Amino acid sequence: MDDHLRKTYRNKKVLVTGHTGFKGSWLSLWLTELGARVTGYSLKPPTEPNLFEAIGLADRIIHTIGDVRDEEHLTHTFNKYQPEFVFHLAAQPILRLSYNEPKLTYETNVMGTVNILEAVRKTKTVRVCVIVTSDKCYENRECAHGYNETEPLGGYDPYSSSKGCAELITAAYRHSFFNPEKYGQAHNVALSSVRAGNVIGGGDWGKDRLVPDTIRALYHNKAVVIRMPLATRPWQYVLEPLMGYILLATRMYEDGTGYSEPWNFGPDEAGVITVEELLKLIIKHWGNGTYKITPSNHPHETSILKLDSSKAQKMLGWRQIYNIHETAERTINWYKSFYAGTKKDELYELTISEILEYTNHTAYHTRTKKVC
């Protein structure tokens, strides 16, 4: 598996939007490790500290500061670097912020997606484009079953709605401009959208997210404050969906017609646990800590959310590797290394080793399960 990915990405020009964010930094690092020539296009890192600066990623890729709402600058970047692969992760990613800044949320998540697809349409070198949205793009009916890719899109809040809109825009561009039936004739672009669960891992310091909020409180010896202890979410290690994105893009590059559609990359049933259950796991691996529950007078959030990833499992051979206990342990071990004062180069090597260890597990898993 890993050799096949290296063959695909070696010396390929890859553009990643949102590369200074949590998932974007992990993805950019992984792609460089596979031999890709990565260009990042993003706003400045959204938090201090942040993974992008903690591992010195600016020294290892082409680092471009830009806003996806700025169509002119975005188009210029595409023209200058002529990417073959595009991974679009740049977004306003915080649900609670979307209540305070709905216009910003829609401008970034909706028109930002339009600008990306327009740039792809105007850049002849692009062969693969993966639009990253969210599991919250679905019309959430608080169902116990996992949502599959054919379920209705929707969104109660501005953030979820904006992600549903991004999915509809991607589908419209795929039908109108990048239709698989016209691949190799009218165009040469394979276009897909991907939806992941609640991603956790080392290096996330985003606001209003369970793990970063918990780490900040534990580091300062304060009680962790949670809003919805019984809310269930599809928690997964950051490398799990990223492997899905990378593997999907590889298949799209090889077959421009067979994989241009929406995809779910969520954890198995055991990874769908409550906020309180995950919090207790984090505290356990940190070694100590307390928490308290605040009154429930907060903006609306869903109580239950699950994804059905059976299509990715069947068609891509993608599988979850780490269970929720391993996910929590690896996440906390990374933060412990950071707060122990690990130097930038050593933290970079630690983060790379996480990727290499994961890919080794993936190779073993695919050999034993015979799915690839």
Can you read off the two tokens belonging to residue 370?
Answer: 């015979």
Q: Are 36 and 8 in contact (CB under 8 A)?
A: no
* pLDDT at 197 (0 to 100): 82
> Which of 144, 168, 139 lies closest to 156, judged by CA?
139
Can you read off the two tokens belonging to residue 173?
Answer: 């561009």
For residue 182, give the DSSP letter. G
Q: How many C-beta atoms surround the C-beta of residue 353 within 10 A?
A: 10
| Cβ burial, residue 26 (10 Å; 0-12/13-18/19+) | buried
Domain ranges of the chain: 2-200+236-274+306-323+342-369
SS3 292: strand
* pLDDT at 370 (0 to 100): 37
**pTM for the predicted model, two decimal places:** 0.94
Q: What are the residues facing 199 on neighbouring strands?
A: 236
**Which residues have CB under 8 Å from 172's CB, separation 6+?**
none
pLDDT by 10s per residue, the chain, length 372: 678 999 999 999 999 999 999 999 999 999 999 999 999 999 999 999 999 999 999 999 999 999 999 999 999 999 999 999 999 999 998 887 888 899 999 999 999 999 999 999 999 999 999 999 988 888 877 666 788 999 889 878 899 999 999 999 999 999 999 999 999 999 999 999 999 989 999 999 998 899 999 999 999 999 999 988 988 888 999 999 999 999 999 999 999 999 999 999 999 888 889 999 999 999 999 999 999 998 766 665 565 678 899 999 999 999 999 999 999 999 999 999 999 999 999 999 999 999 999 998 876 454 434 333
The one-letter code for the residue type at 297 is: N
CA distances from 82 to 86, 124, 126, 127 (A): 10, 8, 7, 11
* pLDDT at 241 (0 to 100): 97
Instruction: Identify the architecture of domain 2-200+236-274+306-323+342-369 in CATH.
Output: 3-Layer(aba) Sandwich (3.40)
